[in-house]
Amino acid sequence: MNYLAFTVEHRRFLGFGLLLAFGSSFAQTLFIGLFGADLRAEFALSHGEFGLVYSLGTLAGAAIVMWLGGLIDRLDLRLYTVLVAGGLVGAFFLVAAAPSAAVLVVAIFALRTSGPTLRHIAITSMARFFTAERGKAVSIIWLGLPLGEAILPAVAVTLTAAIGWRMTWVALGVALAGGLIPISLWLLRGHEARYGDGGGSAAGAAGGDAARHWSHREVLRDPRFWCFLPTVLAEAVIIVSLLLHQAYLASSKGWSPALMAAGFVGFAVSTVTATLVAGELIDRLSAVRLLPYYNLPLAAGLLLLAGFSEPVIAFAFLILAGICTGANRSVSSALWSELYGATHLGAIRSVFLTIFMLATAAAPAFVGWLLDRAVSVETLSLLGAAYIAASTLLVLVGPGRPPKRV
């Protein structure tokens, strides 16, 4: 079935996943980084201190997300969605009212818990209820994230210039409360009749490609999980760190904010394209077969960033990063259900989400610490390329290496 026919047939459920992925972009590092200069000025933070605030909030979220993410296997999908979306709305109002850096840490905690969990709902739902066309399903819902990445920077900059950064967070919080929650509930109407139990019980989790359905404890003892993990995390660790400190990146290269904003359009377009192409390839080949190769465009972009500073490099780097980001979203979303089945997918993905959050908390703080000590963007780029090379080699030669045949 092609993308158009598949989307039309499952439009309501895919629309639900797409909406939640879009909503999660409000808690993305890219979005929070847009307010980096305002937040640092408001609370008198250095680059390293701002990275530490972000990391502390994210680490606190990682402490509970394994439990929170696993609830999707037990709670009604509608109730779970409302609770998580309500947490995101509350986080926006807390950022707007934050009187100190300490409260900002709590607000970042709420953002970095509810946002990733909202995306966790979308991905887990699609991977659980679709099997033969899982690649298409996760690729379609992931389009909500680049949509947010293309729209939100301009919205945030425009609103901040007009009403200030605090009122911008209030306005967007109101928009989320009035749109995200009621529309998601409307899209889920009749969900059980079409796809089975939305809470993730056996009726709704019958799909899966694995020979058996693993528990999350069994997954933690599987060497494939640990061999594949560095590659799956590479895109997030590297791009999150660079985007949180995007103002420093631009100034060190002599790039204007307008140039970066234009570059993010290319990032969004390449992300969308790569997401859809990867989804089709997953259905034809498998996520495991694609795993060793999709980080290579990012490695090429980092080498360009290390060697050149011309304005065109901003576009080249962001486009190549977007290709990697789009492919990673599709591959990582389908990978765990391919390997471990769907019955306990919520718990398994929550394990991954916890590790993901720990990694994306530690990396920006470490990069901010390096920037405060005058480590150059060029050096950081070479370190990122070396990490990709090492993690790719681990997939190709380690015990979890992909099979020669599907």
Q: For the segment 313-333, what is each residue's pLDDT rounded down to a tens digit?
A: 999 999 999 999 889 888 888
Instruction: Please tell me the total count of domains within the chain.
Output: 1
What does the alpha-carbon distance between residue 374 and residue 368 come to, in Å, rounded to a whole number? 10
Residue that has been written with the tokens 């009726």 in this structure: 203
Band (pLDDT 50/70/90 cuts) for residue 206 is very low
6 falls within a domain: no
- The pLDDT, as a whole number, for residue 275 is 87
- The pLDDT, as a whole number, for residue 339 is 85
pTM metric for this prediction: 0.72
What confidence tens digit (pLDDT) does each residue in 70-84 have?
A: 888 788 888 999 999
* Cβ partners under 8 Å of residue 234, min gap 6: 295, 298, 387, 388, 391
- Among 344, 22, 14, 8, CA closest to 207: 344
Interior CA angle at 278 toward 277 and 281, to 5°?
Answer: 90
404 falls within a domain: no
The whole domain housing 354 covers 11-397
Q: Find the CATH number of the domain harbouring 230.
A: 1.20.1250.20
20 falls within a domain: yes
pLDDT for residue 345 is more than 90 = no
Phi, psi dihedrals of residue 153, rounded to the nearest 5°: -55, -45
pLDDT for residue 224 is more than 50 = yes
1 falls within a domain: no
1 is written with which tokens? 């079935």
405 falls within a domain: no
- The pLDDT, as a whole number, for residue 202 is 33
4 falls within a domain: no
268 falls within a domain: yes
CB 367 within 8 A of CB 247: no
3 falls within a domain: no
Dihedral sign of CA atoms 350, 75, 110, 186 in order: positive
- Among 257, 264, 321, 328, CA closest to 293: 328
